[in-house]
Every structure is written in C-alpha cells, then in structure tokens.
C-alpha cells in the first residue's frame, strides 16, 4: 500500500512486505539518474539489512557507500552528524546525490538532519526498521539531534523523497523496542482515533500490523499536511511528549526509552487534564491500563516538580507558557496554554 503525503515536497510512504528490495527502484522513481547514494545506518541494523538495501540501490544504478554509527540514543549528537559530513565529503557528494537512512528514529533523525544541512540540503529516503520509526519518526520531515540540556533541540524540517517501510523488519526487532513503538501507537489512538484505542484495548490491533501502520501514518499525514512547520495543529502529535522529553532528559537519555517516556507523559497529561476539568474523568485510568497491558511503564521516580522544571526548553513553550496537549476524551485532543506554575498545581 502507498500513502501520499502532500507537503511542499510531495512524497509517498510505501508499506509492503519485502519493500527493502524495492528501495533502489523507488529511488529511481524519485528522478535521480546518475546519482550516488550514502546508506546511513547503525551498528545494530546494518548487519541485518544493510547489504540487502545496498544491493537494491546498486542494482538500480546508484553507486552506494555506507556510514555506520554505534547504535543508541547516546549517539544522537552533533559530533556524529559531523562524522557523516566527513563521509559525504570524502565520497565527493554533490546536491544531486542522496542519503538513505536505514534504521530507527535515531538514524532517521540524524541522517535526515545531515541531508537537510550538507550543501544546504540534499535528498534523502527514509527506510524505517523499528515500529516507532514506521508509525511516527520517518514521516513529516522533522530531523535533528539531542543536546545535553534537551532532546531534539537542534534540527530542521526536511521532507524525505520517499519512505519505505517493510513490516517484515519488525520480526527482528527486540521485544523491548517493539513495546517502545507501541507507546506512539497508543498516542494516535488517544489524540485522534478512538477505534484504534479500542482495538488496542481489545487486543485486536496487532493482528494486522500493516493495517495498524497505515492507520497511524494516515493520522499523521492529515496533521502534517495541515501544518508542516509544527506551528499549530501538528503539535497535537506531541501528546505526552512535553513530560516524556523532560523525563528522557532527567534520565540522561539512558534507561528510559522514548516510547516509555511518552507513555508516562501521556498519563501525566491526562491526570493534569482531569484536574483542570478539561479531560473526561477516568481517561487517565484507561490510558494507564492500556499501557500496562502493553508492558509499558505508567509512572516514574522523578517528582512532578523535577519533571516540570525539566520542561524549561520545551519546543512548545512561548515564554513562561507551555502549549500542553490535553485530551477532551479518547480520540479528541486540544492545545492548552498553561504556565508551569499552574501546571504544577494541576499535577
């Protein structure tokens, strides 16, 4: 199946078993005759799928080199991107050449940022291999790296030429990382798709992975097309992320994964919303119960004071005011401006 994303640079998201072998053909369809490709991946994913994707690119006529970095969020740094620049320069890349990111959200974010900034912008194709990347990180053109004082604080909007998602890669995904991605799936049910949330509660959503992926990507497509630069309604995709990013920062980007942090953040946002009279009572318990059923945490050891203080560099801030994403109920969300002082009281 393919989903068309109509941003300033339109592109297609392909979701298909065996799609890894079609990356070269899809790249050729993007109109890059005579171009070189740089395959960017991590030390965990490249040994599984790197040679297969490289072969697909080379069979399609693209001479392909590779850059592999140590797997993990701890590599999501400016210094790693500088190493990518060096590899691109040494391979004599020009603006007509392109990057292919093969891996999870960290790979896509960093490789996309390298593409957005090398020579002031070259093309790139996203090939997500994790559930989190397939349903969220690979679509929408957000790229970036972490800083010691906050997550994704340096980045650029740079839409890919294409996204190629092969659900078969999820078979090699460790259970921990699959659960991690389910945190983002729950988010989509919370903010815009009550039937998806109910299917997750009933345990039927996972019976058809491709359909679940399509549901999540279609939800994101609507918000990205409406607000590509994340200035309004696209911010609804950040439900749970204000607290989640703060928790990741407090944990030093180790030990608590992104999806786990977002899950805890969603529960906190629902609790705040209920106390503010915005969110239907009982919503926090439904979200907590579903996350628990999926094996995701619903609370953390840091205090609410520490978490709220750690939102100081949240990208959804306007001065002292946070634009918090709250639920009215399952499947219906809104932006709610609030000061940190009032937020602390609401928690």
Cα 304 to Cα 10, 226, 260, 262, 272: the distances in Å are: 41, 33, 17, 15, 11
> To which H or E segment does residue 146 belong?
strand 142-147
pLDDT of residue 240: 96
What mean pLDDT do residues 198-213 have?
A: 92
Task: Note whether 206 and 260 are same-domain residues.
Answer: yes
Q: Which of 152, 172, 192 is the last residue of a domain?
A: 172
> 68-105: buried (b, 16+ CB within 10 Å) or exposed (e) per residue?
bbebebebbbeebbebbeebbeebebeeebbbbbbbbb
pLDDT digits (tens, 9 = 90+) for 94-126: 999 999 999 999 999 999 999 999 999 999 999
**CA-CA distance, 153 to 302, in Å (whole number)?**
22
Contacts of residue 303, defined as CB under 8 A and 6 or more positions apart, other chains included, come to none
d(Cα 87, Cα 124) in Å, to the nearest integer?
15
| pLDDT score at 317 | 65
CATH code of the domain in which 196 resides: 1.20.1090.10
pLDDT digits (tens, 9 = 90+) for 292-342: 999 999 999 999 999 999 887 666 666 678 899 999 999 999 999 999 899
Q: What is the tens place of the pLDDT at every residue in 219-245?
A: 999 999 988 888 888 999 999 999 999
pLDDT given at position 181: 94
Q: Are 223 and 116 found together in one domain?
A: no
Q: What is the pLDDT of residue 133?
A: 95
Residue 52 has pLDDT above 90, yes or no: yes
Do 120 and 229 fall into the same domain?
A: no
Let me know: does 160 contact 62? Beta carbons within 8 Å. no
Domain boundary among 138, 155, 172: 172
Q: Which domain holds residue 55?
A: 2-172
User: What pLDDT digit, counting tens, does each position of 61-104 carry?
Assistant: 999 999 999 998 899 999 999 999 999 999 999 999 999 999 99
Give the SS3 label for residue 190.
helix
What mean pLDDT is predicted for residues 269-279? Answer: 97
Same domain, 315 and 184: yes
Which pairing describes strands 317-318 and 321-329: parallel, antiparallel, or unpaired? antiparallel
Report pLDDT for 34.
84
Render pLDDT for 127-175 as a digit per residue (tens, 0 to 9): 999 999 999 889 999 999 998 888 888 999 999 999 999 999 999 999 9
Q: What is the pLDDT of residues 6-23, one digit of tens each?
A: 998 899 999 999 999 999
Angle formed by the axes of helices 283-293 and 175-192, nearest 10°: 160
Residue with tokens 């994913």: 45
Domain check: are 191 and 335 in the same one? yes
**CA neighbor of 223 nearest in space, from 214, 212, 215, 235:** 235
Q: Say yes or no: 179 and 322 in one domain.
A: yes
- Domain boundary, last residue among 103, 137, 172: 172
Q: Using CA atoms in the order 6, 9, 14, 15, what is the torsion angle rounded to 10 degrees?
A: -60
**Percentage, residues of the chain above pLDDT 70:** 98
At residue 258, the pLDDT reads: 92
Co-location of 121 and 199 in the same domain: no
- Structure confidence by residue, pLDDT tens digits, 181-194: 999 999 999 999 99
| Same domain (yes/no): 121, 249 | no
The pLDDT, as a whole number, for residue 150 is 80
pLDDT reported for residue 314:
67
Q: What is the pLDDT of residue 199?
A: 95
Q: Are residues 223 and 143 in the same domain?
A: no
Number of folded domains in the chain? 2
Same domain, yes or no: 267 and 288: yes
Together in a domain, 237 and 165: no
Beta carbons within 10 angstroms of residue 254's beta carbon: 10
Average pLDDT value over all residues in the chain: 93
Closest CA relative to residue 230, chosen from 163, 160, 161, 157: 157
Query: Could you tell me if 282 and 220 lie in one domain?
Result: yes
**Pure H helices in 118-229:** 131-132, 175-192, 194-202, 209-226
pLDDT beyond 90 at 33: no
CATH number at residue 160: 3.40.50.1970
Confidence of residue 345 (pLDDT cuts 50, 70, 90): very high
């Amino acid at each position: 199946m393919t989903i068309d994303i109509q941003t300033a640079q339109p592109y297609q998201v392909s979701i298909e078993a065996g799609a890894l072998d079609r990356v070269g053909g899809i790249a050729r369809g993007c109109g890059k005759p005579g171009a070189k490709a740089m395959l960017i991946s991590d030390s965990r994913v490249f040994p599984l799928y790197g040679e297969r994707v490289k072969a697909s690119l080379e069979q399609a006529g693209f001479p392909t080199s590779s850059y592999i970095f140590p797997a993990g969020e701890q590599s999501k740094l400016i210094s790693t991107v500088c190493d990518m620049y060096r590899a691109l320069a040494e391979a004599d890349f020009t603006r007509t050449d392109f990057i292919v990111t093969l891996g999870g959200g960290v790979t896509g974010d960093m490789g996309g940022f390298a593409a957005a900034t090398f020579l002031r912008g070259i093309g790139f194709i996203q090939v997500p291999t994790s559930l989190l990347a397939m349903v969220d990180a690979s679509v929408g053109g957000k790229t970036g790296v972490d800083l010691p004082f906050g997550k994704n604080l340096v980045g650029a909007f740079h839409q890919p030429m294409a996204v190629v998602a092969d659900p078969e890669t999820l078979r090699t995904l460790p259970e921990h990382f699959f659960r991690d991605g389910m945190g983002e799936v729950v988010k989509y049910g919370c903010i815009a798709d009550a039937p998806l949330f109910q299917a997750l509660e009933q345990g039927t959503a996972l019976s058809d992975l491709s359909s679940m992926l399509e549901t999540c990507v279609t939800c994101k497509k609507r918000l990205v097309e409406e607000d590509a630069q994340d200035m309004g309604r696209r911010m609804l995709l950040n439900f749970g992320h204000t607290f989640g990013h703060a928790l990741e920062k407090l944990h030093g980007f180790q030990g608590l994964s992104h999806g786990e942090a977002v899950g805890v953040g969603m529960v906190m946002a629902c609790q705040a919303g209920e106390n503010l009279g915005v969110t239907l009572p009982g919503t926090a318990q439904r979200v907590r119960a579903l996350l628990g059923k999926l094996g995701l945490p619903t609370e953390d050891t840091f205090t609410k004071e520490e978490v709220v203080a750690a939102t100081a560099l949240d990208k959804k801030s306007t001065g002292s005011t946070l634009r918090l994403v709250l639920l009215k109920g399952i499947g219906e969300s809104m932006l709610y401006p609030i000061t940190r002082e009032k937020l602390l009281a609401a928690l």
